[in-house]
C-alpha cells in the first residue's frame, strides 16, 4: 500500500516516542542490571534486554517499510511477525516474574505461566497463518485478517489485565493482610499504572482502524516500550518497599527479643498454672530466586508458648528444649517455598 504524507508523519512521531521512552527504559534496565551479582545468569535480565532490542529493531524495520526502503516481500512480513512473537511473549513473562515475587503457590504460578505461553502461542500461530496471506492480498484472508487481528489484540490485552489483577490480589492477600502496610503503596501504584498498560493495548487497537495497516504496527514498539518501563518501575518500587519492610522487621525483632527475655515466668514446684513466653526468632535466609537481588519480602509471626509442669526442673527442661528448637527454626519466613530458596543459594 502506498504511504501518504500523513502516514509518514504519524510513523515518524511513533518512532520518536519509541526512541524517547526507549532511552528512559534502557537507563532503568541498566540500573537494575548493574546491581545484580551475576546478571548473565538472570532470565529476567535477558528478557528485559531482549524486549528492548526487539522494540528498537521493530520500530526501525516498520519505519523503513513505510518509507518504502523495504519492499512488500514475504521475508519482511515474516521478520516483523518473529519480532512481534518475542515482544508479546517476553513482556507477559516479565509480568509473571513480578507475580512470582509475592506468591508462594509454585504450582499455581507454573500453571499461570504455561497457560499464558500456550494461549499466546496459539495466537501467534494463528496470526502467522492469517496475517501474511492477508497482507499479500490473497482474497479470502484479507477480510479475515481485518477481523482476527483485532480479536487477537483484545485477547492479549485481556491476558495482560488479568495478570495485573492477580498481582494486586496477591499483594493484598499475602502482604497487606499480614500486616505489611507499606505494600498499600504498591497496590495503589500498580492499580493506577495497570490502567496505563491497558491503555497501551487500547492504543494499538485504535490505530488498527487507520487506512494504512502498516502504521498501526509502528505503534507496537511504542506500546511495549511503555509496558516495559512500567514493569521496571514496579521492580524498583518492590525493591525499595521490601527493603524498608525487612529493615523495620529486623529492628522490631531486636527489641522484641530483648523484651521477651524479661517476660518469661515460671511456676514453682507443684504449681499447675500455665506459664507463657513470647518467642521471636531472626531469619537469615538468602533472597529467593524470583527477587534476584531485589530485596526480600517476609511475613512476621509471633508465637505465644504456654508451658504447664509439675516441677521446676521439668519446666526448665521444656523451655530449654523449645528454645533449642527455635534456634534452628525461624518465625520470619519468606513468601517463597523453602525449596526455591535452597535452589537459589
- Asked whether 86 and 281 are in contact (CB, 8 A), the reply is no
Q: How far is residue 175's CA from residue 101's CA, in Å, rounded to a whole number?
A: 11
Helix or strand run (H / E) with residue 303: strand 303-307
Look up the CATH number of domain 5-240.
Answer: 1.20.1070
d(CA 182, CA 189): 12
- The pTM of the full predicted model, rounded to 2 decimals, is 0.71
Distance CA 291, CA 336 (A): 10
Q: pLDDT tens for the chain, 345 residues: list them.
A: 567 788 888 889 999 999 999 999 999 999 989 888 888 888 999 999 999 999 999 999 999 988 888 877 788 889 999 999 999 999 999 999 988 887 878 899 999 999 999 999 999 999 999 988 888 888 888 889 889 999 999 999 999 999 988 888 887 777 665 555 666 777 777 788 888 888 898 899 888 888 887 888 899 999 999 999 999 988 877 777 766 655 655 565 555 555 554 444 444 444 444 443 333 333 333 334 444 444 434 444 444 555 544 444 444 444 444 444 444 444 444 444 444 434 444
Amino acid at each position: 500500500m502506498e504511504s501518504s504524507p500523513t502516514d509518514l508523519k504519524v510513523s515518524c512521531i511513533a518512532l520518536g516516542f519509541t526512541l524517547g521512552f526507549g532511552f528512559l527504559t534502557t537507563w532503568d534496565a541498566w540500573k537494575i542490571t548493574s546491581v545484580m551479582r551475576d546478571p548473565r545468569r538472570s532470565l529476567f535480565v535477558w528478557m528485559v534486554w531482549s524486549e528492548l532490542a526487539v522494540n528498537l529493531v521493530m520500530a526501525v524495520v516498520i519505519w523503513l517499510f513505510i518509507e518504502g526502503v523495504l519492499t512488500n516481500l514475504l521475508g519482511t512480513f515474516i521478520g516483523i511477525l518473529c519480532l512481534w512473537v518475542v515482544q508479546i511473549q517476553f513482556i507477559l513473562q516479565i509480568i509473571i516474574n513480578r507475580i512470582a515475587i509475592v506468591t508462594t503457590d509454585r504450582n499455581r504460578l507454573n500453571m499461570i505461566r504455561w497457560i499464558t505461553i500456550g494461549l499466546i502461542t496459539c495466537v501467534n500461530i494463528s496470526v502467522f497463518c492469517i496475517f501474511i496471506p492477508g497482507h499479500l492480498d490473497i482474497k479470502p484472508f484479507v477480510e479475515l485478517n481485518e477481523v482476527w487481528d483485532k480479536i487477537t489484540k483484545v485477547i492479549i490485552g485481556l491476558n495482560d489485565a488479568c495478570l495485573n489483577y492477580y498481582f494486586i490480589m496477591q499483594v493484598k492477600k499475602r502482604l497487606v493482610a499480614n500486616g505489611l502496610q507499606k505494600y498499600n503503596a504498591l497496590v495503589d501504584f500498580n492499580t493506577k499504572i495497570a490502567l496505563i498498560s491497558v491503555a497501551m493495548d487500547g492504543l494499538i487497537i485504535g490505530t488498527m482502524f487507520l487506512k494504512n495497516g502498516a502504521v498501526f504496527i509502528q505503534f507496537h514498539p511504542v506500546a511495549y516500550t511503555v509496558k516495559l518501563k512500567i514493569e521496571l518501575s514496579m521492580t524498583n518500587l518492590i525493591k525499595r518497599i521490601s527493603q524498608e519492610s525487612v529493615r523495620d522487621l529486623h529492628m522490631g525483632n531486636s527489641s522484641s527479643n530483648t523484651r521477651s527475655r524479661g517476660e518469661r515466668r515460671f511456676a514453682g514446684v507443684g504449681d499447675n498454672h500455665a506459664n507463657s513466653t513470647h518467642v521471636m526468632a531472626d531469619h537469615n535466609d538468602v533472597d529467593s530466586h524470583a527477587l534476584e537481588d531485589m530485596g526480600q519480602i517476609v511475613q512476621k509471626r509471633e508465637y505465644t508458648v504456654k508451658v504447664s509442669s509439675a516441677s521446676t526442673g521439668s519446666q526448665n527442661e521444656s523451655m530449654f528444649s523449645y528454645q533449642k528448637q527455635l534456634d534452628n527454626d525461624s518465625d520470619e519466613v519468606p513468601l517463597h517455598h523453602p525449596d526455591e530458596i535452597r535452589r537459589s543459594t
